[in-house]
Amino acid sequence: MFDVNDVQILNIMIVAKVKFILQKRSISLLLIFGLLMFQKIGHTQTGLGIKTVVIDPGHGGKDPGAIGVTKTKEKDVVLTVGLLLGKKIKKAFPDIKIIYTRSTDEFIGLAERASKANKAGADLFISLHCNAAGNKQAYGLETWVLGLHKSAASLEVAKKENNAILMEDGHEQTYEDFNPNDPDAYIALAMRQNAFLGLSLNFADLIQKNCIGDLGRKDRGVKQAGFVVLYRATMPSVLVELGFLSNATEEKFLKSKDGQEKLASELFDAFKQYKTNKERVDDVAKGIDPEEITIKKEEQHLADKPVKKEDDKNIEKGIVFKVQIATSSLNLPTKPENFKGMKDVEMQKSGKFFKYFVGDYSNVKTAKERQKEVRELGYDTAFLVAYQDEKKIPVKLAIELSQKK
């Protein structure tokens, strides 16, 4: 997760860096303020799990997107696949709210697409597109996340999708000086890494594996570029290029009912895996640990009892208290954005599980105060653990030892 403070710090860093670049390249200072418009943050998801998914069929209305060899329009293909995907998710998970940026053939601006997701507090944003290239032999499926352009080709793909800005009424005011055809306009855009990059990459990888392994599509990989629609979204987000309409064979697959159904099914399978993986982390982020449920309840009860005496010499006794916030079968990077902004998360591997802790305290009183803070962040079953000389011991014993003279 990230909060307003993170965004403010990020803004300061971007302004400083862009000013330096602008001094070197003599780009108008107005670009800074235009690009900082993208930093406006709406509502972000605050809970655990996946409750709301936004499906974004690209283009629409006056913007047909890519047009195939036999005049198949990108906007039609992605709308059908998007609606099929939403129905599959809703059928399997009735409690998940599905929001479409468009469910008919209408034009929706890039800013509005992301705004819908932000206002809904969505947990995942899936933007669907089809590719086209001058090389009629080019084919395959690729998934994009927000990030730095790795090549000139990546920049060109982003420019093509961002070009829809120019079709929006009042785009000059909405996007200030941002020109999707100007490489200089991507300087600050590319510098702003998605706060949910890790989760976005995880979902993107699952999409590629499912569509490639089961459908036999050519794997064009997971890539990064500065897509405006992803830039504005404040949740894990991907942009999927389902295939090349400029390739006659692939166009036939993309426009067929069978092809669209298969694509939607594989995207759903990727979503289901992503949901399962994320909720494994979230479950134990709530304190659920299959190996320690009984011990946890006892220790939590003891830790909640008032302690009459604290001994500042606990460090000499080798006694340390920590707060365990999560256990997972996944090795989750201990980045602040993965743990609601906490910067002191550490991980320990225990058998097939990865356990996550915060704090390193010599007395239980301070540890209990941190436990309370962590619970208020949403880890409502976080519990205390204790160590003596780096060996885990029962919290009850640690408290008794810490009280001895």
pLDDT band of 329, cuts 50, 70, 90:
low
β-strands 319-328, 346-350 pairing: unpaired
Tell me the DSSP string of 377-399: TT-TT-EEEEEETTEEE-HHHHH
Query: Of 129, 130, 98, 88, which is closest to residue 229 (Cα–Cα)?
Result: 129
Q: Which residues pair with 144 in a beta bridge?
A: 223, 239
Match 């998007």 to its residue by tokens.
Answer: 82
2: its two tokens: 């990230």
Instruction: Give the mean model confidence (pLDDT) for residues 248-273.
Output: 96
Instruction: Give the mean model confidence (pLDDT) for residues 118-144.
Output: 93
Instruction: Give the mean model confidence (pLDDT) for residues 286-315.
Output: 44
The pLDDT value recorded for residue 100 is: 97
Range from 10-24, 249-263, 339-353 carrying the lowest mean pLDDT: 10-24
The pLDDT value recorded for residue 10 is: 42
Amino acid residing at 310:
E
Instruction: Give the mean model confidence (pLDDT) for residues 226-232.
Output: 69
pLDDT band of 226, cuts 50, 70, 90:
low
Query: Of 309, 307, 327, which is closest to residue 369 (Cα–Cα)?
Result: 307
Residue 331 has pLDDT above 80, yes or no: no
Instruction: Give the mean model confidence (pLDDT) for residues 147-170.
Output: 49
More confident residue, 335 or 263: 263
Residue 286 has pLDDT above 80, yes or no: no
Alpha carbon distance 56, 63 (integer Å): 14
pLDDT band of 101, cuts 50, 70, 90:
very high
213 touches 219 (CB < 8 A): no
Match 């947990």 to its residue by tokens.
Answer: 123
As to burial, measured by CB atoms within 10 angstroms (0-12 exposed, 13-18 middle, 19+ buried), residue 118 is: buried
Residue 81 has pLDDT above 70, yes or no: yes
The pLDDT value recorded for residue 34 is: 41
Phi-psi region of 130 (alpha: psi -120 to 50; beta: other; left: phi over 0): beta
The pLDDT value recorded for residue 219 is: 94
Residues 39-51 have pLDDT tens digits of 433 334 434 579 9
More confident residue, 354 or 295: 354
| Cα R_g (the chain), whole angstroms | 25
Residues 162-217 have pLDDT tens digits of 454 445 455 444 444 445 455 444 444 444 444 577 788 889 999 999 998 888 88
pLDDT band of 112, cuts 50, 70, 90:
confident
Please report the sign of the dihedral spanned by the C-alpha atoms of residue 12, residue 14, residue 20, residue 26: negative
Residue 28 parent element (H or E): none
The pLDDT value recorded for residue 59 is: 92
The pLDDT value recorded for residue 30 is: 39
Query: Of 74, 67, 73, which is closest to residue 130 (Cα–Cα)?
Result: 74
The pLDDT value recorded for residue 40 is: 39
Alpha carbon distance 235, 29 (integer Å): 29
As to burial, measured by CB atoms within 10 angstroms (0-12 exposed, 13-18 middle, 19+ buried), residue 362 is: buried
Residue 288 has pLDDT above 70, yes or no: no
Angle at 241 between CA 236 and CA 247, to 5 degrees: 175
Residue 213 parent element (H or E): helix 197-215
121 touches 191 (CB < 8 A): no
Residue 247 has pLDDT above 90, yes or no: yes
- Collect all residues with Cβ–Cβ distance below 8 Å to 171 and sequence separation of at least 6: 109, 165
- CB count within 10 Å of CB 151 equals 10
52 touches 121 (CB < 8 A): yes
Query: Of 137, 123, 151, which is closest to residue 53 (Cα–Cα)?
Result: 123
Residue 236 parent element (H or E): none
pTM > 0.85: no
Q: What domains can you pick out in the chain, each with its CATH number?
A: 4-281 (3.40.630.40), 286-403 (3.30.70.1070)
The pLDDT value recorded for residue 58 is: 93
Instruction: Give the mean model confidence (pLDDT) for residues 254-267.
Output: 97
The pLDDT value recorded for residue 358 is: 93
As to burial, measured by CB atoms within 10 angstroms (0-12 exposed, 13-18 middle, 19+ buried), residue 390 is: exposed
Q: What is the mean pLDDT of the chain?
A: 75
- CB count within 10 Å of CB 304 equals 12
The pLDDT value recorded for residue 379 is: 78
Alpha carbon distance 332, 348 (integer Å): 11
The pLDDT value recorded for residue 96 is: 96
Query: Of 244, 233, 236, 197, which is closest to residue 110 (Cα–Cα)?
Result: 233
pLDDT band of 13, cuts 50, 70, 90:
very low
The pLDDT value recorded for residue 238 is: 93
Instruction: Give the mean model confidence (pLDDT) for residues 18-45.
Output: 41
